[in-house]
Amino acid sequence: MIPLTNLPNTVSIREVGPRDGLQNEDRMLTTAQKIALINALNDTGIKQIEVGSFVHPRFVPQMADTAEVFAQIERRPGVIYSAIAPNLKGAQRAIAARADAVQVFLSTSESHNQSNVKMSIADSLSAAADIAHTLKESAISFEAVLSVVFGCPFEGDVPLERVLLIIERLLAMGAEQITLGDTTGMAHPRLVQAIILGIRERFPQVPLRLHPHSARGAGLANVLAALEVGVDRFDASLGGIGGCPFAPGAPGNICTEDAVHMLHEMGIDTGLNLPKLVECARRVEELLGHEVPGQVIKAGICGHIPNGEPRPWRAAAKALYAS
């Protein structure tokens, strides 16, 4: 087999910066700033934006205004504006806010689930069943996000069998997508492939999305590993901001513009306008008042002058490859 030839031609990126990114930042953006950021993201061609979460504001005060954000963002046709919710009450608030998709979130380890959503996995699964039932009546997509699939900061390795049991229950409830979260950046490429292949062996048709974190620098390597086993959906965050406030050492979603840059250079289409994404990442940096971990924002787009136009030598090089 020739390496790196059997990869998906297109990849879908869900921007999770407004939720996973901002919830881990000390500086709280105003509602108007969040709305302006999401409206700017609309111009990048992004098709999925995680707008916020419906959790108790005492636990995640950064997300307390998610309903107001939903009410005031400009909604482009064909774009899915989603929310996450840990329980029925949160899902009902998401429905009232007219979220296009609701993701229930739970962990694959008891300790992280207790820390994150203050309940057992069994209770989270029964909440998921209630959410699924309610969403069916509202014709809103029901999806699931699993945390710490590739390792738990409290318990270490997570048995694949437990991940499979949870996925089995969620699929039986009608989950349209399962997102595998590397919440604290404990994954590595071989583990990513082993878990994805293990899940596919049991559930060949399951629509999987990877939610990588770059806490230990393996984020984009894990994306490549997942691409090799056919995953074509990824979560990423502008500038690489984000993390999990309830997991020690969790900072850093993979950076959207870095991931898109790598994919585009590899000839994999994302449908996204990279210079516009970089503009959005700069806006995030300004709003947060600190440098973001992303690399492209510092190094620039390969072969492009700062306004995003390709350099002539770049076009010539591409033509050479094509011939």
Question: Catalytic residue positions?
Answer: 244
Q: How far is the CB of 74 from Zn ion (least distance, A)?
A: 25
Q: Which of 19, 248, 241 is nearest to 116 (CA)?
A: 248
Q: Please pick, from the candidates 15, 20, 25, 65, the single residue that binds Zn ion as defined by CB under 5 A.
A: 20
Half-sphere exposure of 83 (CA within 13 A, CB side): 32
Name which of residues 190 to 209 contact Zn ion (CB under 5 A): none
Q: Which residues have CB under 8 Å from 304's CB, separation 6+?
A: 275, 310, 311, 314
Q: Does residue 25 interact with Zn ion by CB under 5 A?
A: no
By C-beta, is 95 or 210 nearer to Zn ion? 210
Q: Which of 23, 24, 25, 84 is nearest to 49 (CA)?
A: 84
- The stretches of 102-184 forming alpha helices (DSSP H) are 110-117, 121-138, 160-172
By C-beta, is 46 or 251 nearer to Zn ion? 251
Q: How far is the CB of 304 from Zn ion (least distance, A)?
A: 29
* Exposure letters 257-266 (e unless 16+ CB within 10 A, then b): bbbbbbbbee
Name which of residues 262 to 321 contact Zn ion (CB under 5 A): none
Contact region with Zn ion (CB under 5 A), list: 20-28, 29-37, 62-70, 285-293: 20-28
By C-beta, is 20 or 143 nearer to Zn ion? 20
By C-beta, is 20 or 258 nearer to Zn ion? 20
Report yes or no: 31 and 67 within 8 Å, Cβ to Cβ: no
How many residues sit in the footprint of Zn ion (CB under 5 A)?
Answer: 1
Return the structure tokens found at 301: 């787009």
The residues of the shown chain that bind Zn ion, judged by CB under 5 A, are 20
